[in-house]
Structure 1
Amino acid sequence: MKFRNLQRNIKIRLFTDFATDLTQMAIFPFMAIYFSIEVGQGLAGILLMINVLCSILAGLYSGYLSDRLGRKKVMLFALTIQVSALTVMAFANSPFYTSVWLTYVMFLISNVSSGVINPAASAMIIDSSSEKDRPFIYGLQYWSGNIAIAIGATLGGLFFESNRFPLFCFFAVVSLTTLLIILKFIHETLPVKSEELVTEVEKPERKKSFLSNYLNVLKDGRFMVFVLGTIFVMSLEFQLDKYIAVRLKQEFHAEFFGMDISGVRMFSIIILINTICVVVATIHLSKWLSRFNRQTVLTVGLIIYSIAFGTLGFSNNFTILILAAFMFTLGELIYSPTKQTILAGIVQDDSRASYMAINELSFNVAMLIGSLGLTIGAFVPSSVMAALYFIIGIAGLICFRSAVSYGKAKEVKISHEVTTR
């Protein structure tokens, strides 16, 4: 599989996802610092929680609308709002006018628009891809997303504090370009049944309400077990810049060839190793792994990932931490595209965006658990945290394997019923 052989919608989505990730990472992580300085840390925390809550609700409603109105329509509407919000944010941080509250309102609107875009964009990739091509596509998406995150964080670090006006202007132009590309080149992918093929039983189902739509998704046991696995595994990743970073700052100190390495520097080295390995190895590794059984690949990847996080949770040995950084990245590279491929095969065809909206919600839950880990770590030794990390990783693996096994068992049962009729 090569990039040039991908369906046009996929190619464009990969490019626009890159632009969206770049915009978000150059702005959003630095807004907490900005609001803490301008309105105080306590109020800033409340404002950011409101922001996350609104984004979650917007994502859920986006999933519902995307399965009824179409992916492209929802994405165009959200991007139009985002371009407008970024433009006003630039104005509110310009040499002519400054307003922290106008900045917050526009930041909230921009973040909500991103929450609207994600389920529709994720569903569009599933609509436009085959099961055979998805490991390569998700590997490529993971690779480009990490590069966008690295570049965006670098741009934000360099320009956010002293040059917000040109930074916001630049990303307003980036979002406008993304909007025009989607408008011009992407075609709608929402599966539409011919009216002649829709039975009387199916017609009311197509008009189900927002609440009943998500109740049906939540009743899908296989998918919800998969979501639980996602929460477990992603909560480990959110430990990296919380408990693990704090622990290294407090406990770690080493010398390497006469160079003094503090805990903060060690954390930076781990992130650097992760970024370089992702950029260099993702695509080649995804191609190679696509020839193996997905359940086996997922199992191997998550075992490596869990062991690595357990090691990062307690070791203060420089060499062991370097090895753990490589292992954590390798495990992530192995399991992540495979997990996304399995997810794409689990969701129901007529509610893909709704399923992806719930999947997006799992990341917010995992983020909260990641923050909770910092609190727990203040009361228990690092060895307990390491054991807890390994258990959480294995619990995630069990959930993923259960979801896959449940699907196979169901397929065998249906096949048996059809055969015996």
Structure 2
Amino acid sequence: MRYTELHRNIQIRIITDFFTDLTQKSIIPFMAIYLSLQIGAGWAGLLLTINIIGSMLVGLWAGYWSDRIGRKKLMVIAQILQVFALFWLAAANSPWLNSVPLTCWMFFLSSLSSGITVPIANAMIVDVSSESERHYVYGLQYWTTNAAITIGALMGGLLFESFRFILFSIVWIESLVTLVILIFYIHETMDRRHTILSHRTTSIAPKNIFYTYIDVLKDTRFMVFLTATVLAISLEFQLDKYIAVRLKNEFSAQLLHWNITGLQMFSLIMAINTVLVVLIAIPFTKWMGRFPSRKVMTVGMCLYTAGFAFLGFSNWTLLLIICTVILTLGELMYNPVRQVLLAGMIPDANRAAYMAVDGMSYNVAALLGSLGLTLGAFLPSYGMATLYALLGIASLFFFRRALTLQSPITKAHHDPVACADAS
């Protein structure tokens, strides 16, 4: 599989998503600091929470309507909102205007725009990719996302505090270019042959939205898979919360005659994880595509879980480094396969709706990550390590359980179990 062999929509989305992630990640991680300084930590936390909830709700709305009126229309509307929001976000932090309220409102509008785009973009990839292509596509997407996050964080660190107007202006220009590309180069991908007849009416849209997501919640196979996803991702959110705090409080060592603090060790762990992903994600994922999905998922989750379990209590430098490598390899194995299996089990007529619900798993996992930090104040480190092991084992159990269940609305040729066995 080669990049040039992919559908043009996927080629364009991977490039535009890279630059969108790069620019967004140069802003979002630093907005919490900015808001805390400008309006206080309490109000900043409330605003960020409202942004997350608003993004989740508008994502559900967008997922429903995308399956009815098409992907491109809503993506263009969302991108227009993004361009508008980022223009005024830059203006509100310019030499001619310094408005904290306008910054807050435009940041909220930008979050809503992203909430609309994400489930639709994910559904679009499924629309135009085959089973054989998805291992490569999701592996490539995983690599570009991590590379963009790394570069974006560096760019934000250099520009956000002292050159915020320049940074926001760069982000606005990127969003404007993305809008032009969406309008003129992206094609509609929704196959209207798969739409349900009930989609034709809009007079009872609220009722239809309600019943659409009730049907999603009734899909036992998908909900079991979603539970596994939440548990797996919740481990990832422990890294910059409990594990970072534990290392700061407990860790002290020497490496090559240098004294290393806990925060420096945490930075080293993050650097190893990022560098490994950037260097080996694409060839490693391509190589993993040769093996059965079920086995790759199992081995990957075992490595991923073991890595986090040891990070939860160990203060031995070499072991921490080895475990970081292990959990990164596990993540590179299970994450693309998870997306491939998800794409194979969702029904054609409600792809974006399912993707919107799947997107909520990250928000739930983030809440569990915060809860882990709270539990860490009461449990010893080996207790947290045991909890991480149980979370990983439970996640693997639910993943494998989902692959054995049959969904009445999932078509046989999209059955990920069949694909895994055929591999």
Tell me the distance in 1 between the aligned counterparts of 2:178 and 2:223: 33
The corresponding residue for 1:405 is: 404
Gaps of 5+ in 2: 416-423
Letter in 2 for 1:390: A
Tell me the distance in 2 between the aligned counterparts of 1:193 and 1:139: 29
Q: Which moved more, 1:205-214 or 1:40-49?
A: 205-214
Other structure's SS at 1:11 match: helix
Q: Structure 1, residues 235-262: CA drift from partner, whole Å, max 9, x if none?
A: 0000000000000000000011210100
Cα distance, 1:408 vs. partner? Answer: 8.8
Tell me the distance in 2 between the aligned counterparts of 1:40 and 1:312: 33
The corresponding residue for 1:204 is: 198
The corresponding residue for 1:281 is: 280
Tell me the distance in 2 between the aligned counterparts of 1:189 and 1:205: 17
Tell me the distance in 2 between the aligned counterparts of 1:2 and 1:390: 37
Q: Which moved more, 1:46-55 or 1:114-123?
A: 46-55
Other structure's SS at 2:253 match: strand
| Mapping for residues 5-404 of structure 1, pairs under 5 Å | 5-193=5-193, 202-204=196-198, 207=201, 209-404=208-403
Q: Structure 1, residues 110-150: CA drift from partner, whole Å, max 9, x if none?
A: 01100100000000000010011100000000000000000
Other structure's SS at 1:68 match: helix
Aligned residues: 407
Tell me the distance in 1 between the aligned counterparts of 2:163 and 2:125: 35
Letter in 1 for 2:353: S
Q: Structure 1, residues 133-185: CA drift from partner, whole Å, max 9, x if none?
A: 10000000000000000011111111101111010000000011111111111
Other structure's SS at 2:98 match: coil
Cα distance, 1:14 vs. partner? Answer: 0.6
Tell me the distance in 1 between the aligned counterparts of 2:311 and 2:262: 12
Cα distance, 1:204 vs. partner? Answer: 2.9
Letter in 2 for 1:170: I
Letter in 2 for 1:13: R
Q: Structure 1, residues 72-93: CA drift from partner, whole Å, max 9, x if none?
A: 1111000000011001010000
Tell me the distance in 1 between the aligned counterparts of 2:177 and 2:146: 21
Gaps of 5+ in 1: 416-421
Cα distance, 1:94 vs. partner? Answer: 0.5
Q: Structure 1, residues 311-333: CA drift from partner, whole Å, max 9, x if none?
A: 00000000000001101111001
Tell me the distance in 2 between the aligned counterparts of 1:204 and 1:149: 41
Cα distance, 1:203 vs. partner? Answer: 2.3
The corresponding residue for 2:421 is: none
Identical positions, percent:
51
Tell me the distance in 2 between the aligned counterparts of 1:18 and 1:192: 29
Compute the TM-score of the two structures, normalised by the length of structure 1: 0.94
Other structure's SS at 1:261 match: strand
Letter in 2 for 1:203: L
Q: Structure 1, residues 385-407: CA drift from partner, whole Å, max 9, x if none?
A: 00100110111111111111113
Q: Which moved more, 1:399-408 or 1:368-377?
A: 399-408
Other structure's SS at 2:69 match: coil
Tell me the distance in 1 between the aligned counterparts of 2:199 and 2:66: 16
Tell me the distance in 1 between the aligned counterparts of 2:157 and 2:101: 22
Q: Structure 1, residues 183-211: CA drift from partner, whole Å, max 9, x if none?
A: 111100111129xxx9xxx5236546111
Q: Structure 1, residues 359-394: CA drift from partner, whole Å, max 9, x if none?
A: 001110000000000000000100000010011011
Tell me the distance in 2 between the aligned counterparts of 1:139 and 1:151: 19
For the Cα contact (< 8 Å) 2:68–2:199, is it kept in 1?
no
For the Cα contact (< 8 Å) 2:24–2:171, is it kept in 1?
no
Cα distance, 1:411 vs. partner? Answer: 7.9
Letter in 1 for 2:198: P
Compute the TM-score of the two structures, normalised by the length of structure 2: 0.94
Q: Which moved more, 1:14-23 or 1:105-114?
A: 14-23
Q: Which moved more, 1:371-380 or 1:23-32?
A: 23-32
Tell me the distance in 2 between the aligned counterparts of 1:234 and 1:294: 19
Other structure's SS at 1:342 match: helix
Other structure's SS at 2:259 match: strand
Tell me the distance in 2 between the aligned counterparts of 1:121 and 1:151: 22
